[in-house]
Structure 1
Amino acid sequence: MSTRNPILPGFNPDPSICRVNSDYFLATSTFEFFPGVAIYHSTDLVDWVLIGHALTRHSQLTIRGTQPGFGVWAPTLRHHKGRFYVATAIAQGWGDQSTTPRGFYVSTDNIWDDTTWTDPVFFDVLGIDQDLFFDDDGRTYLSVAKTKNDGLPHPTWEAIWGVEIDLASGRNKGSPILLRRSTTDSGVAEGSHIFKRGGWYYLCVAEGGTEEGHQEWIFRSESPLGPYEEPEAKGFNPILYNAPDLPIRCTGHTDFVEATDGQWWAVFLGLRPSSSSGIAHMGRETFIAPVEWDSQGWPVINGGRPVTSEVRGLPHSKPPGAWTDPFSKSGLTKGWYHSQTPYRKEYNTTEREGWLALYGNGYMIHDSACPSMLLRKQNSLSGNWSVRIDFTPSNEYEEAGTTVFRSKFGFIALLLRKRRGAPKQVVLRWTDKETDSYKEIVRDLDTDGPVDLAFRASPNAYTCLIKTVEDDEYYEMATVSSGVLQREDKFGSCFTGVHLGVFAQNSNHTSNLVPAYFTQISFSPAE
């Protein structure tokens, strides 16, 4: 038996996992996208279904004006005494201590219902990558990656600290204790998780930064607050590392789970760069590997070998299937996202049966705010995304269309607009890294009726297509490299992954007078 990595393809970084009886639940980061903290369910560790999100209300998550790559970072998902807990933080920026995140947790006794998650309970220790550990004696411990580390040797960009907390209030019950300072050149220790096995407390830590030096280290102690020791065997750490010349790389930020049959597994993030461009525009995805325990009681991931696309010991996974949203009157299907927290609902599925009505607001998709845009994660490197749009702009400022969107710094948009004294136009617009501006290809349309817009995705490019309802075949506007979606010069913009979506916008800082209507939105994977 074998399955294929990644088990959660597309933008699904920082996985955290827990098991309740025969059910597995897994949470991933969502960064600047809303709703926050995606929750997946599986019964076999292979086929996962999105069941909801932990942060769905303004009282839980408000991010506006946040730069790409910030927002909700690295959740931990745990189950304790009948309740599920998600611990995380909202990063609004970097480099200024006034913006250092203050972590929190939310909880629910019904993980299947988005609306039941509580409002945040905040922790005292500032930092990122919060982890909750519930000990057998009823005590609760927080571990966190803290950036304020006075007195520690240079470099110490992030270090792991732990403290016992009062669960009800989130307050410290003592002073934080240093658990791990990284000895790697980066000085980065983050993404910690504490778990217990065989009387030992284990601390797993992501070190080396989340780029090509990313790796996982393991330590253990007789106490949840340490001191933690390394394995005696020289070179045992890191327990997970894929070199930057491998097809899968940047592996780390690991969490562990024991399956129903006693087999242990590790889930972690990784990148799959394109073989020709080196760009990993899909973002950081969720991978899995088997864990064995050596004679000294230390975990060995994947037999100590680099992780590959094949995973033995798990059932064969179902290939990703075609997807569409019928836009029923009950609302959208799960899996749609906004870029940042919306001020109000800008869409409906009741105005026109089987259609999505989207009202443009004063923000453009390249703004640091919440444009009128709905997005879905691209979950296959190759495939066909198509939409039918019915939109007649009332003035030259109104635009609507479909997009390949990674961030405001990297997107491809295929849209409709009009110009004074000219017919309606279709515009292909994309970001240009060299000039930090936009390029456009424009074509006049000779129809006022619906238009089909499509992207044909391949590992290295997107072919942009249009077709009126009178046409028999698509017309190719251009093929745009996926490299335009990657901005290494913008901190954080590479932390996320590509989405496919629809939008309506107004370049005159006001709302559109007429909605854009969308139907037959679908994605068919071709891998």
Structure 2
Amino acid sequence: MIRNPVLPGFNPDPSFLRVGEDYYIATSTFEWYPGVQIHHSRDLVNWTLVARPLNRAALLDMRGDPDSGGIWAPCLSHDGDRFWLVYTDVKRVTGSFKDAHNYITACSTIDGDWCDPWYVNSSGFDPSLFHDDDGRKWFVNLRWNHRGSGTGGNPANDSFDGILLQEWSPEEGLLGTSQVIYHGTDRGLTEGPHLFKRDGWYYLTVAEGGTGYDHAVTMARSRAITGPYETHPERHVICAAGSDGPIQRTGHGQYVETHWGRHYHSFLMGRPQQGPKGLFCATGRETGLEEVEWRDGWLWLKQGGMVPRLEVPAPSGAEAGPDRDAPVERVFSGSLPPEFQWLRSPYPERLFRTDPEALTLIGRESLGSWFEQSLVARRQEHAAYAAETVIEIEPEDYQHAAGLVTYYNRHKYHAALISDEPGLGRALYIASCPGDWQNEAMVRQGEAVALEEGPVSLRVEVEGARQRFLYRQDEGDWRPVGPQLDASVISDEGGRGEHASFTGAFVGILAFDTSGQAREARVRRFGYHPA
């Protein structure tokens, strides 16, 4: 069976691609570096991370990008010769404007060195590239309308001003004039366009309803690529709005016909649970797959309705892969483990280095900086887990600190920090930014604890909306530090809510040195243990 989510943890906006008997899913990474995650499968059940292609400054530099900016909604395609990747680097998220710059890169192999990008346009976000059977390539993206109320083409949300189509070639760039081919339905917030062709029809799928609980996959079709497009008889192919099942927030996906002759659609999803302030998705926006079928020239979920299932029949006799609920123990010995990423910068050598014995974090800017932050982390993939690490640091003053952090963005984090405290010397304290968008203040949680010399083991235990930090030295007993914390803050729904930020929860290690002296901390191991 296909077990949803197929890509657990922060893996949103799945672009789904088949090349022969190989299947790929590319997902958004927002401000996390390197940009775009690409997973590979041969059976649709077992998926392996094979590439993060936007891995150098020529392809991506996100220093200064805001939280939930950066890489939005990539599109991965293949024209029979090369892989093509279309992506947006969003430089502004809030207010009237979205400064969203769209690029294309290409590579002959999925895990090779992708070429320096072609800049395409900045008219909006969520671009995709369609390769027609006559050899022409078409660039599709949302057009963003900054002018204000009543000016857009869809009254449900007039900033989302239609889906643009324009021919593009690598030699000449954009050709002819752009035109709006679809304004969407009354659900509004029409974005995430993907085109494909079947039986003489051009099919357009879009995401609608925003990134929250009203999200949906909408479908339309036309005999001509330029339209007019008629909308699906039921408007949406996938939508969990109004349902009460374990899968919610479904939308933004792509269709694939498999080499087995069966049909599947990827979709974005969330797994909500109850928190002190309502529902929240601890594991962020994830990727699922559902089987679809053709009836009367339209796609429908094969099992009926619009709500995807947790388990879906696989197209072949796939064998179960590694247990994704098993503990993961990492020793930092020469390279960063594949599940770890960092924030924004194409110059990781300024943030950390690895040697055969440890990961060294180079203290840079403050926790929450949008430029150079020494934070290395992995996705939270389970509602309940524990994470452990061992940190070596000898801080000279309170401006130098390192520790263990559960992190969503600069407004939403909890951290156990080792620093120098006046009157205590080297000490451990808990600090949070609990979703306060007004002053972004770091709030102390409880009293600092004096530490002995030597390495410090730190642990965080998360169970749903509850979180607690612990510590020990010299392999003694774990001792709690600080109060029980609200883990639901570390989610889309925390702070200002699901439409204000839309990435995912991470757990990792960090160091900062706000004196500017780049003082360091060493980390030898990291464990992630699903509960």
Under a length normalisation based on structure 2, what TM-score does the superposition of the two structures give? Answer: 0.91
One of 130, 133, 140 as aligned partner of 1:133: 130
* Aligned amino acid, residue 23 of structure 1: D
Query: Is this contact kept in 2: 1:399–1:416, CA < 8 A?
Result: yes
Partner of 2:32: 33
How far apart are residue 144 of structure 1 and its match? Answer: 0.6
Q: Distance in 2 between matches of 1:163 and 1:249?
A: 34
**Stretch deviating more after TM superposition (240-249 or 71-80):** 240-249
* C-alpha distance 340-43 of structure 1, shift in aligned 2 (>3 A): same
The equivalent of 1:224 in structure 2 is: 225
Deviations 1:213-235 (A, max 9, x none): 2111111112222221224x4xx
Listed one character per residue, the Cα deviations across residues 171-196 of structure 1 (whole Å, up to 9, x for unaligned) are 2x2211221102315x3210010011
Match of 2:258 in 1: 259
- Mark the CA change 1:366 to 1:299 in structure 2 (over 3 Å): closer, same or farther: same
Which residue among 489, 493, 497 is the counterpart of 2:496? Answer: 489
Judge conservation of contact 1:423–1:444 (CA < 8 Å) in 2.
Answer: no
Q: CA deviation at 1:421?
A: 4.1
Specify the alignment match of 2:214 in structure 1: 213
RMSD of aligned C-alpha atoms? 2.2
Q: State the match for 2:513 in structure 1.
A: 506
Q: How is 1:116-515 mapped onto 2 (pairs within 5 angstroms)?
A: 116-124=113-121, 126-148=123-145, 152=153, 154=155, 155-158=157-160, 159-171=162-174, 173-185=175-187, 187-231=188-232, 233=233, 236-244=234-242, 245-276=244-275, 277-294=278-295, 296-305=296-305, 306-313=307-314, 315=318, 318-320=322-324, 321-329=326-334, 331-341=335-345, 343=347, 345=349, 346-350=351-355, 353-361=356-364, 363-433=365-435, 436-437=440-441, 438-475=443-480, 477-486=482-491, 487-489=494-496, 493-508=500-515, 510-513=516-519, 515=520
Are the equivalent residues in 1 in contact too, given 2:45–2:314 (CA < 8 A)?
Answer: no
Q: Deviations over 1:447-504 (max 9, x none)?
A: 1111110112222222211111241344454321212224442786530101111111
Deviation per CA, 1:345-401: give whole Å up to 9, x if none: 122222xx421111101x111223221111111122222211011111122211001
Mapped to 1, the partners of 2:273 and 2:348 lie a distance apart of 38
The answer as to whether partners of 2:265 and 2:292 remain within 8 angstroms in 1 is: yes
Closer/same/farther in 2, CA of residues 472 and 151 from structure 1, 3 Å limit: closer
Q: Corresponding residue for 2:78?
A: 79
**Gap regions ≥5 residues in structure 2:** none
SS of the residue corresponding to residue 488 of structure 2 reads helix
CA deviations on 1:18-54 (whole Å, 9 max, x unpaired) are: 1112211110001111110111111111211111212
The equivalent of 2:50 in structure 1 is 51
Distance in 1 of aligned mates of 2:328 and 2:69: 29
C-alpha change, 1:450 and 1:281, in structure 2 (3 Å) is: same
Conserved 8 A contact 1:71-1:92:
yes
Contact 2:344 2:372 in 1 (8 A): yes
How many percent of aligned residue pairs carry the same amino acid? 30
Query: 1:478–1:96: structure 2 CA closer, same or farther, 3 Å change rule?
Result: closer
Cα pair 1:194 1:204 within 8 Å, conserved: yes
Q: Secondary structure at the match of 2:227?
A: coil
Give the corresponding residue for 1:10. Answer: 9
> How far does residue 3 in structure 1 lie from its aligned partner after superposition?
3.1
The answer to whether the 8 Å contact 1:202/1:221 transfers is: yes
Aligned equivalents of 2:329, 2:115: Cα separation in 1: 31
How far apart are 1:281 and its partner, in Å?
3.0
**Which residue pairs with 2:526 in the alignment?**
521
Q: Which amino acid aligns with 2:297?
A: G
**CA 1:439–1:304 in 2, change beyond 3 Å: closer, same or farther?**
farther
Specify the code of the residue in structure 1 equivalent to 2:420: K
> In structure 2, the residue corresponding to 1:77 is in which secondary structure?
strand
Q: Structure 1 residues 409, 206: closer, same or farther in 2, change over 3 A?
A: same
Cα distance in 1 for partners of 2:21, 2:245 equals 34
Shift of 1:404: 0.5
Partner Cα separation in structure 2 for residue 3 and residue 502 of structure 1: 33
Judged with a 3 Å threshold, the aligned counterparts in structure 2 of structure 1 residues 416 and 94 are, in CA distance, closer, same or farther, namely closer
Contact (CA 8 Å) 2:391, 2:455: kept in 1 or not? Answer: yes
- Which secondary structure state, in structure 1, belongs to the residue aligned with residue 62 of structure 2? coil
- Stretches of structure 1 that go unaligned for 5 or more consecutive residues are none
Deviations 1:126-176 (CA, angstroms, capped at 9, x unpaired)? 2111011101110101111111396736343211111111233432x2211
Give, in whole Å, the separation in 2 of the partners of 1:251 and 1:501: 28
**What is the CA distance between 1:423 and its match in structure 2?**
2.8
1:103 has 2:102 as partner: yes
Structure 2 residue identity aligned to 1:424: R
Structure 1 446/18 Cα, relative in aligned 2: closer, same or farther at 3 Å?
closer
